[in-house]
Chain A
Amino acid sequence: MCFKAKRRLTLALSSMSALLPLTAATAWAQDSKVNAINMPVGVTEVSASIYDLHMIIFWICVIIGVLVFGVMFYSIFAHRKSKGVVPATFHESTKVEIAWTVVPFLILLAMAVPATKTLIEIYDFDDAEMDILVTGFQWKWKYEYLQEDGENLKFFSNLRTPQDEIYNEEVKGEHYLLEVDEPLVVPVDTKVRLLVTANDVIHSWWVPDLAVKKDAIPGFINETWFKSTQVGIFRGQCAELCGKEHGFMPIVVHVVSKADYVDWLATKQSEAAEIKELMAQSFTLDELAERGKGVYQRSCLACHGANGEGGVGKAIAGSLLVTGAINGHLDSVVNGVPGTAMQAFGGQLNDVDMAAVITYQRNAFGNNMGDMVQPLDIFNFKKGQ
């Protein structure tokens, strides 16, 4: 613990001294997003209308500002005592007061018209061509592609940036904090309806280029939609404070051509079928531990530490629970621990990954239990409850 803190401090100091002018960003200077000073126009019709609204109101403010501050600065320049000005004594004028009440009111009225039009356009959820259920978790997103036949495709989308980059032990990559293991993939020119909800606390799904920001509220489902006119990769972040890792749950949307989308969907579906097959198989301890290591890094590490030393969550290394009976260990991972930050992973990990991560935890960080669980055991455990 102490060693780690010390190392962090030295790193912080050394990176500060090495910092000099603006190191981090200059490397990506060719990227137009670097040091952007305005809202993106975005890639949907709605985002373009919002951008226009934003610019109209911005210029109205600039013009009023120039006029008002112009008068004020002229007055500051001209009407000063040091120039021997004798103060006037006027102190009211009903006519002017009426004028500067009515004129702003009319400007606002003019502004309200396009704003209302755009708002109504945003609220038109009809004729969506596909539906995706977006669920916010502490601290990741889950996407579920709703299919007519009920065979929904679903997966979690986790931050991919390694802890070493976050804690300055490695050079930060180009998409630092804005990269995920599994992006949301959608077809271009398609009206995609999102049903947004949350599993624990309130999150908010925000992608600036799509001009979508919708709160994900536990127990309620919000609707929103977008229709991208361009293919590309669009990045965003959770916008509502949702706890410790709020800054570390990005959103990445890949908008692809319709043909690519069909291919992608087919691949994902066959992967799902493969997992189903795997679930019936048996593995060796090494195979499970190998797979489990990856699962641990994606799903457990943020709370339980890279070496199982604990953090927000309890330590895995030497834990009585982990080195105790398998069923107790399984219970807390599958069902979570109520009243704590330990989530129920039963619905988040498939049985293969669950078996792998349990086996890994029991055999890593000095927990040399030498035992393992198979996917089938997980299946039976879940069925048995």
Chain B
Amino acid sequence: MGDHHHGPAKGLKRWIFATNHKDIGTMYLWFSFAMFILGGSFAMIIRAELFQPGMQLIRPEFFNQMTTMHGLIMVFGAIMPSFVGLANWMIPMMIGAPDMALPRMNNWSFWILPPAFLLLASTLFMEGGGPAFGWTFYAPLSTTYAPPSVTFFIFGVHILGLSSIMGSINIVATVWNLRAPGMTWMKMPLFVWTWFITAYLLIAVMPVLAGLVTMMLMDIHFGTSFFSAAGGGDPVLFQHIFWFFGHPEVYIIILPAFGVVSQIIPTFARKPLFGYDSMVYATASIAFLSFIVWAHHMYTVGMPVSGELFFMYATMLIAVPTGVKVFNWISTMWRGSMTFETPMLFSIGFVVLFTIGGFTGLMLSIAPSDFQYHDSYFVVAHFHYVMVAGAVFSMTAAVYYWLPKWCGRMYNETMGKTHFWISFVGFNLAFFPQHFVGLAGMPRRIPDYALQFTDFNMMSSVGAFIYGGSQILFLYNVIATIVAGQPISDEKVWEGAEGLEWTVPTPAPFHTFAVPPQVK
């Protein structure tokens, strides 16, 4: 390709001043993995405490800090940046662009993340402890009754919101402007489509989150009463604003995951994606619906019955486009010629477990039943099925799928498959019993529980340790691949792979598509 003289700078400067989409993507991926391990270790502390009834290892106030930080770090530090990293690496290569449209902003949007999380993590060592009000930080527990460190939390959220908005603007600008000749909208790979839509969701709702934490800041330090009834405000207002951000947020997490799976399944089924058009429309419908269902997180706050009905019907509707997606993936597999390498295993695991999470989501949408499910472990089980078996499984699949392309070396397939099966068993052992205890009446976010929940909690803890431990295998496999994996040079890597990213050399050179390809 004659690009070597444009190689990367040497040493630390390569990373600090990085403007190359692949380098920035790599940094995002490593950063998110570090956060995944940190958030995961908090989860291990939680599950160790819940291994049996009684307070064993930590105090209730620290337990609350752990559940809060686990949620915040996993959502904002692990899952979201990991998909941004993937977008950085793959979107230019998928649409035939030389780089992201705004490379310097790209650098900035990554480099403000580590300080933001340093700030957030440092609150754990502050007087009064870190945030202990749950990742949903409902007022007034997060305002009038919050530890002093809440101000640092607010600042941290501002910074990472800024990072997300800049990242999204970059993706939107790239997709609009840098598509190769002939790469029309309806030829774009589905991963690009899902991220394109996700980026708009982010631009729409991150400012809402920023506004919300600013209102908190005003309530705490400047004497306003947005969320205090004593001053004419309303604590429920907080929840409406939070979930107006929060519900689109869950689709921000899951849509790119849909995109990944829609790339991987056709490859290993050796058959084109079934219903490409309907997949695009379904993604857009889900994005639209995500804005009009927020109050289904709040069925018990005392809304009028008309409000409950509206949000119930709107929420039930989400099952339709989501169902379309699942049916399309299965039709893609149908009469294909399948093989089951690690990325395919994780994708099939995704389809099965995400669908289970979708079913419980449908159950949760039924407002009267939700009066029983709400804030119980049933909800915890539900969202871990969609967040972990959904987003994290698909992210894991993506790493195995594209890693050979990124570094020109093949990972160890046996170890990859082992990672999948341990993850699969551990995950289900951890989260399936949580449906039971939730239905039987165990509230979420409690550091100690009644004796009848003991057995399932023990199972859950054992499962969580297995799932957590399996990530060490993953880390080992990835490092071993990069350092000493078997070199490969086949451009396609996978027999059934289609798309522009598989037309560049393996490993992908520092600069790709300096000359735009012509798409037929």
A-to-B contact residues, CB < 8 Å: 12, 15-16, 19, 22, 24-25, 27-28, 31, 33-40, 49-50, 53-54, 57-58, 61, 64-65, 68-69, 71-72, 75-76, 79-82, 85-93, 96-97, 100-101, 104-105, 108, 111-112, 115-116, 118-120, 122-123, 138, 165-168, 172, 174-178, 200-202, 204, 206, 208, 211-215, 217-220, 222-223, 235-248, 312, 341
Question: Could you say which residues of chain B place their CB within 8 Å of the CB of A39?
Answer: 372, 439-440
Task: Give per-residue flags for B270-298: 1 if the beta carbon is below 8 A from chain A beta carbons, else 0.
Answer: 11111111100000000000000000000
Q: Would B445 and A58 count as touching, CB distance under 8 A?
A: no
27 contacts between A and B (CB under 8 A): A16-B51, A24-B454, A25-B452, A57-B363, A65-B355, A72-B351, A76-B333, A79-B338, A87-B270, A88-B334, A89-B271, A90-B274, A101-B324, A104-B319, A115-B312, A119-B305, A122-B371, A165-B54, A176-B53, A177-B53, A201-B141, A239-B300, A239-B376, A241-B134, A244-B61, A247-B443, A247-B449
| Residues of B that sit less than 8 Å from A by CB | 51-57, 60-61, 64, 132-134, 138, 140-141, 144-145, 228-230, 234-236, 269-278, 300-302, 305, 308-309, 312-313, 316-317, 319-320, 323-324, 326-327, 330-340, 348, 351-352, 355-356, 359-360, 362-363, 366-369, 371-372, 374-376, 435-436, 439-441, 443-452, 454-456, 458
In the docked arrangement, what's the CA distance between A212 and B372, Å?
A: 7
> Which A-chain residue is minimally distant from B360 (CB atoms)?
A61
Contact (Cβ within 8 A) A247 B448: yes
Contact across chains for B145 and A243 when beta carbons are under 8 A apart? yes
The docked-state distance in angstroms from the alpha carbon of A92 to that of B278 is 9
A218 and B337 contact, Cβ closer than 8 Å, known pairs A87-B270, A243-B141: no
Are the C-beta atoms of A239 and B443 separated by less than 8 Å? yes
Q: Taking A53-B369, A217-B236 as given, write out 19 further A-B residue pairs in contact, using a Cβ cutoff of 8 Å, ordered by the A residue number.
A: A27-B451, A35-B456, A68-B326, A69-B355, A75-B335, A79-B337, A89-B272, A104-B319, A108-B317, A115-B366, A119-B308, A119-B312, A174-B451, A176-B451, A200-B140, A201-B138, A206-B441, A214-B300, A312-B61
Q: Which residue of A lies closest to B359 (CB)?
A: A61
Whole-angstrom distance between the Cβ of B143 and the nearest chain A Cβ: 9
From A239, which residue of chain B is reached at the shortest CB distance? B375
Query: Chain A nearest CB: distance from B507 CB in Å?
Result: 26
Residue of B64, B336, B443 touching A79 (CB-CB under 8 A)? B336
Quote the shortest CB–CB distance from B294 to chain A (angstroms).
Answer: 16
Q: Do A88 and B57 touch (CB < 8 A)? A: no
For the complex formed, measure the closest distance between the CB of A104 and the CB atoms of chain B, giving whole angstroms. 5
A291 CB, min distance to chain B CBs, angstroms: 28
Q: How far is the CA of A255 from the CA of B270 in the complex (A)?
A: 64
A64 CB to closest chain B CB (Å) equals: 8
Shortest Cβ distance from B246 into chain A, in angstroms?
Answer: 15
Q: Decide: A79 and B333 in contact? CB cutoff 8 A.
A: yes
Contact partner, B324, options A93, A97, A168, A237, Cβ 8 Å: A97
Residues of chain A within 8 A of B229, CB atoms compared: 217-220
Whether A219 pairs with B228 at a CB distance below 8 angstroms is: yes
What is the bound-complex CA distance between A341 and B146, given in angstroms? Answer: 10
Of residues A22, A75, A248, which shows the largest number of chain B Cβ atoms within 10 Å of its Cβ?
A: A75
Do A22 and B455 form a contact, CB below 8 Å, given A37-B440, A61-B363, A238-B443? yes
Across the interface, B455 reaches (CB within 8 A) one of A25, A115, A176, namely A25
A237: chain B residues at CB < 8 Å are 441, 443, 446
B444 — which chain A residues lie within 8 A by C-beta? 241
CA A263 to CA B369, docked complex, whole Å: 36
Query: Which residues of B lie under 8 Å from residue A168 when comparing CB positions?
Result: 54-56
Q: Which B residues touch A236, using CB under 8 A? A: 441
Docked Cα-Cα span, A312 to B272, in Å, equals 61
Query: Given known contacts A35-B452, A219-B229, A247-B446, is B235 in contact with A204 (CB within 8 Å)?
Result: no
A33 touches B440 (CB 8 A): yes
B352 touches A213 (CB 8 A): no
User: With contacts A167-B54, A220-B236 known, is A36 near B371, CB below 8 A?
Assistant: no
Q: Are B441 and A92 in contact (CB under 8 A)?
A: no
B439 with A36: CB separation less than 8 A: yes
* Known A178-B450, A220-B229; contact A214-B302, beta-carbon cutoff 8 A: yes
Contact B368 A75 (CB under 8 A): no
- Asked if A219 meets B230 with Cβ closer than 8 Å, knowing A68-B326, A104-B323, A202-B140, the reply is yes
Complex: how many Å from CA A34 to CA B451? 8
Q: Report A-chain residues with C-beta under 8 Å of the C-beta of B228.
A: 219
A217 and B301 in contact, given A71-B334, A202-B235 (Cβ under 8 angstroms): yes
The 5 closest A-B pairs by CB, nearest first: A219-B229, A247-B446, A222-B302, A36-B440, A61-B359
Q: Give Cα A204 to B373, complex, Å.
A: 13
Contact of A112 with B270 in the complex, beta carbons under 8 Å? no
Residue of B at shortest CB range from A25? Answer: B454
Cα separation A39 to B234 with both chains bound (whole Å): 33
| Cβ-defined partner of B335 (8 Å) among A28, A88, A222 | A88
- Interface contact B235-A111, CB-CB below 8 Å: no
Which residue of A is nearest B333, CB measured?
A75
A15 interface neighbour in B52, B60, B333, B450, Cβ under 8 Å: B52
The answer to whether B275 and A91 touch across the interface, beta carbons within 8 angstroms, is yes
Whole-angstrom distance between the alpha carbons of A88 and B367 in the complex?
A: 43
Residues of B within 8 A of A31 (CB): 452
Bound complex: CA A16 to CA B57 (Å): 11
Most A-side CB within 10 Å, residue of B138, B339, B441, B444: B441
CA distance A119 to B305 in the complex (A): 8
- Beta-carbon contact of B436 and A72 below 8 Å: no
| Given A80-B338, A200-B140: A172 and B54 interface contact (C-beta under 8 Å) | yes
> In the bound complex, what is the Cα–Cα distance between A72 and B340 (angstroms)?
14
List, in ascending order, chain A residues with CB within 8 A of B456's CB: 35
Q: Tell me the complex Cα distance, A1–B356, Å.
A: 47
Which of A68, A138, A213 has a CB less than 8 Å from the CB of B372? A213
Residues of A with C-beta under 8 A to B348? 72, 76
